[in-house]
Amino acid sequence: MIHSSSSIWCFHSTFIPKLNNSVIQPKNNRCQVKKRFSRSSPLLVASTPTASKQMTRVPRNPNLAKLEAGYLFPEIARRRNAYLEKHPTANIISLGIGDTTQPIPAHVAQKMAERALALATPEGYSGYGPDLGDPELRKKISERLYGGKVDIDEVFVSDGAKCDIGRLQMMFGPGVDIAVQDPSYPVYVDSAVIVGQTGTKNGSLYENIRYMTCLPENNFFPQLDKVPRADIIFFCSPNNPTGAAATREQLEKLVQYAKNNGSIIVYDAAYAPFIRDENIPQSIFEIEGANEVALECNSFSKYAGFTGVRLGWVVCPKSLQFADGSFVHKDFRRIFTTCFNGASSLAQAGGLAVLDDKGMQEVRRLTDYYLENAHILSSAMRDLGLKVFGGENSPYVWVQFPGRSSWDIFEELLERAQIVTVPGSGFGSGGESFLRLSAFASREQCLEAKSRLEKMFGK
């Protein structure tokens, strides 16, 4: 029987001690919850049949209270839906969320299907795999993507880069401080808040995070001599959202900066397959000495449309050490094997196919397709007289609208051209006055977006 009435609640509430949780800020900047009971009645048992009304005595993790509720994408969806309610027949083009749209290459899907069918046979069945992933796949990753320069024991095969960032943060724990590019992929900051590396949010900035502003004025590369030291530096190139890809010289500076400061770089290379320029490294390990100060996350998501399949990897050099001389590899392995039981064997079979000769040609074809979309979008914006960045070694086009708020432009494009984008301010204050356009759409949609933009701006 479901009790929905408030009378049940009122009845039980006379028995349940009321818990007033107040968050207090202790000296070390980490929050604790102080519990106070308004009635002292230890003998009373807090039980009620109305599950929906039951409050436990479990304190909420105060770090979660510091987070803003996933604001950006739900807000975009809300505004899009509100528009559709008013204009139900509108044909909205989404250049918003960075999810792939083109099908997985057929021979890759075939290998996953074969692996799935083999699981139904006694000879082909396998259960848990090796803890760091299929050795054949790790070898292929090392050979194909790192020219054999990383040891296969340094490759951790996972269910994707986002999960790896969370596991890395769990390993680093609350005692470190981080630096991020501003604007940046929101997961670095949110995971830092969740594990307790930050204080509270003041305006748009969290206490204890070093924000490395990346604007056109500094070619989207931080002025490192102005950045206060941080333990961990999250660096994403090609960058989400700005589309900027760091050159070899810039990455050399970054590695040197980390060495000078005794910092660790977490290098996010999720968009590496979009790089076409020879002077832009595909991996931080192309920079000499990086194996002493960096680890790298990457993912099959954007290589071959694996956003739903889920497969990624981390390269954690065996030479990377913490301040006490202990090895990061050892701790990461401990976290990895505690919180994760290995990537799906089907996904790994697909990953192997992505990295064979045919697969690599398909990766090139797919990324060329999105890069051509990016070119269509960026040249359309440029022809309209706007300042456009990214879109060359990246699927993201970053458009500047000086003096205007990102949300205003977002709204205007939705209202007048039925195009959904992402307001740059959602990626941090450094993204204010910008819009991010994602090339992960169909060619037809990009061409249609171009013609709508031309109409909208009267060209």
96 makes contact with ligand PLP (CB under 6 A): no
With binding defined as CB under 6 A, does residue 243 bind ligand PLP?
no
In the complex with ligand PLP, the residue whose CB is nearer, 269 or 377, is 269
Run of H or E residues at 399:
strand 396-400
Q: CA distances (Å), 295 to each of 77, 235, 310, in order?
A: 34, 11, 20
236 binds ligand PLP (CB under 6 A): yes
Q: How far is the CB of 157 from ligand PLP (least distance, A)?
A: 12
- Rounded least distance, CB 27 to ligand PLP, Å: 34
Q: Which stretch binds ligand PLP (CB under 6 A): 20-28, 160-168, 334-342, 418-426?
A: 160-168
Among 270, 293, 347, 399, indicate the residue that binds ligand PLP (CB under 6 A): 270
Instruction: Identify any residues that bridge with 387 across adjacent strands, giving them in sequence order.
Output: 400
Q: Does 307 bind ligand PLP (CB under 6 A)?
A: yes
For residue 164, the minimal CB distance to ligand PLP (Å) is 8
In the complex, minimum distance from the CB of residue 97 to ligand PLP, in angstroms, rounded to a whole number: 8
Q: Quick check: 183 binds ligand PLP (CB under 6 A)?
A: no
List binders of ligand PLP among 28-87 (CB under 6 A).
none
Buried b (16+ CB within 10 A) or exposed e, 252-266: bbbbebbeebebbbb
CB 150 within 8 Å of CB 144: no
With CA atoms as reference, report the closest residue to 315 among 176, 129, 168, 130.
168
Identity of the residue, 181 or 433, whose beta carbon is nearer to ligand PLP in the bound complex: 181
Q: Which of these, 424, 365, 366, 360, lies nearest to 390 by C-alpha position?
A: 424
86-94, 134-142, 167-175, 299-307 -> range binding ligand PLP (CB under 6 A): 299-307
Which residues share a beta bridge with 327?
Answer: 321
Residues 308-347 that bind ligand PLP (CB under 6 A): 312
In the bound complex, what is the minimum distance in angstroms from residue 265's beta carbon to ligand PLP?
14
Binding test (CB under 6 A) with ligand PLP, winner from 76, 108, 161, 193: 161
How far is the C-alpha of 21 from the C-alpha of 62, rounded, in Å?
A: 10
CB of 341 to ligand PLP, least distance (A): 17
Contacts with ligand PLP: how many residues (CB under 6 A)? 13
CA–CA separation, 117 vs 113, rounded Å? 6
Q: Does 185 bind ligand PLP (CB under 6 A)?
A: yes
Eight-state DSSP code of residue 129: -
CA-CA distance, 249 to 246, in Å (whole number)? 8
Cα(320)–Cα(331) distance, rounded to whole angstroms? 11
Contacting ligand PLP (CB under 6 A), which of 299, 345, 425, 438?
A: 299
Q: Is 268 in the site for ligand PLP (CB under 6 A)?
A: yes
Q: Which residue has the tokens 């790896």?
A: 164
Cα end-to-end distance, the chain, whole Å: 65
With binding defined as CB under 6 A, does residue 181 bind ligand PLP?
no
Binding of ligand PLP by 162 (CB under 6 A): yes
Q: Which residues contact 107 (CB under 8 A, 6 or more apart)?
A: 353, 358, 359, 362
Among 98, 133, 186, 342, binds ligand PLP (CB under 6 A): 98
How far is the C-alpha of 280 from the C-alpha of 248, rounded, in Å? 6
Q: Which is nearer to ligand PLP, 140 or 310 (CB)?
A: 310
Contact 436, 97 (CB under 8 A): no
Closest distance of CB 310 from ligand PLP, Å: 7
Q: Interface residues with ligand PLP (CB under 6 A)?
A: 98, 160-162, 185, 236, 240, 268, 270, 299, 301, 307, 312
